[in-house]
Amino acid sequence: MFNSTKAVIIFIILCTLLISLLISFIAFIIYRYQQKQNVFFKNMEELKASHENAMLQSQLEIQEQTFQNISQEIHDNIGQKLTLAKLHLNTLDMEDAANALLQIQDSVKMIGETINDLSDISRSLSSEIILNNGFIKALEFEVNQLNKTRLYNIKLSVTGDSIFMEAQKELLLFRIVQEALNNIVKHAEATQIHIRLHYCSSELVLEICDNGIGMVEGANIKRGNGFANMSRRANMLQGVCHVISEPKEGTTIKIEIPLYEKQQEV
Amino acid sequence: MGKTIDYILFDLQCIAGLISFLLSIRLIKNDSIPNYMKGFFWYSIVCMIVIINNFIKSHLFDNFTFATVINNLSLIFHYSFLSVFIIKITPKREEIRQVNFFLIVILILIIYLLVTHNLEKHVYQAFSLSGFGLSILCLIYYYQLFNNLPILNLRKEPSFWIVTGVFFCMSIIVPSSAMIGYLKNKISEFNLIIIHDIATFSYLVMHVFFIKAFLCSIQQRQ
């Protein structure tokens, strides 16, 4: 009987210890979890700040690039047309009425074209078209603009169920396409361009293919900055950018962007 | 004296169970509470039935052996419900699929023990075994909790308090049930009641944790 009573006392002491241990265990779990949570939120804050920083930097770069484009467009196209129009008007010979009329008509036509060009540039560089009409409409506009030059046969195909993303995301994606098209115009010597947009259940796959000269090792460095920009912007959208190219076999730029936010693992 | 403590603890357990049941009724009508808390309403009903059953035995008919039969049989429901419930609320439960096999084996063993023993007496081995299975599951829950994104506010998370209550109770039930089974014929009724009191106390604490979980749900809803 004594042994049994002793066993019960030991058991009760053990149970009391167990209860104390369990209370400590709960306190410990809450404390450790909160510690982990604090680290997690701190990391998230840092990640958010760095993302915002990268976004800001990218916006500044886009702005800088936009200024360069405007400057180039004014110099190469609008400036030329206006100069020519001015030349026509300066050399008007009022005595030769028929020729003067022709020169005036040419000047009016050139000024009209210049106004249209200015309007196109304005629309192409403004983010309003994306904010108001979405990414696909903006792409269609861009494709039409390039088609107007008659230098390229450019196609746009959209498959899957398209969805609207955040305006900031769509703008960034649009700038990637603009950068890719800019690269093609400047370096690729292509005649055919195909832009494919495929909306999968969880991601958007964007492919820009051309039939240009493709890339050799050296050209890679020459065009490197543009690709680096595209890649960085794709990363900012939590996506990836692949460049597939062979000399004389054109280039394909493939961008995969998740349609929904990925959870950040810490 | 032991008998008095036993009655006090049992009455407190009944009150805690009743409060928990009433809170679950209050929550069942709300769409904004987590779905698992709605499922917990059915568990509260069964707990209430078992408590009423034990109350009848304890205060009205001391020789009400049917109460023990119900207690033993309800163990299958308690174990099955809590196992499924904890698996459902465990973060990334797809990672712990192999645990299902372990839980099913324990369930089969519990059923085997209940079938092979006299149901008119408490089958302590079965209680101990179910406690063991649920304790392991609770530990897995904690493990998964720490291995996933720490986005929960544990102090206001109903699932955490339920699991903690179950873990607290089961960790005590495992040794106490095992030892009652072993010491039953070797010690006096007084000492047996004390061990039984500890088990009752652990059930009381579990119901208090359930109340806390329901209160957290109400706070979340507000």
With the C-alpha atoms ordered B201, B203, B206, B208, is the resulting torsion angle positive or negative?
negative
Rounded distance between C-alpha atoms, residue A108 and residue A84, angstroms = 11
Mutate to test the interface with A, among B163, B168, B205 (most CBs of A within 10 A): B168
Which letter does DSSP use for residue A243 in this model? E
**A47 touching B (Cβ < 8 Å):** no
Rounded distance between C-alpha atoms, residue A141 and residue A137, angstroms = 6
ipTM: 0.77
% of chain B residues with pLDDT over 70 = 93
Task: Report residue B213: phi and psi, to 5°.
Answer: -60, -45
Strand order in the sheet with A251-258: A153-160, A192-199, A203-210, A251-258, A240-245
pLDDT of residue A35: 92
Test A14 with B146 for CB contact under 8 angstroms.
Answer: no
pLDDT of residue A7: 55
Q: Dig out the tokens for B157 from the structure.
A: 């998370």
Chain B, nearest residue to A18 by Cα:
B172
| A148-162 pLDDT, tens digit each | 777 888 889 998 888
Q: How confident is the model at residue A265 (pLDDT cuts 50, 70, 90)?
A: very low
Which letter does DSSP use for residue B147 in this model? T
Q: Which chain A residues are closer than 8 Å to B198 by Cβ?
A: 12, 15
Residue B5 has pLDDT above 90, yes or no: no
| B55-105 pLDDT, tens digit each | 887 777 767 677 888 888 889 999 999 999 999 888 877 777 788 888 999
Can you give the pTM of this predicted structure? Answer: 0.64
Q: How confident is the model at residue B164 (pLDDT cuts 50, 70, 90)?
A: very high
| B106-132 pLDDT, tens digit each | 999 999 988 888 878 888 889 999 999
Rounded distance between C-alpha atoms, residue B88 and residue A178, angstroms = 48
| Pick from A263, A203, A230: nearest CA to A47 | A263
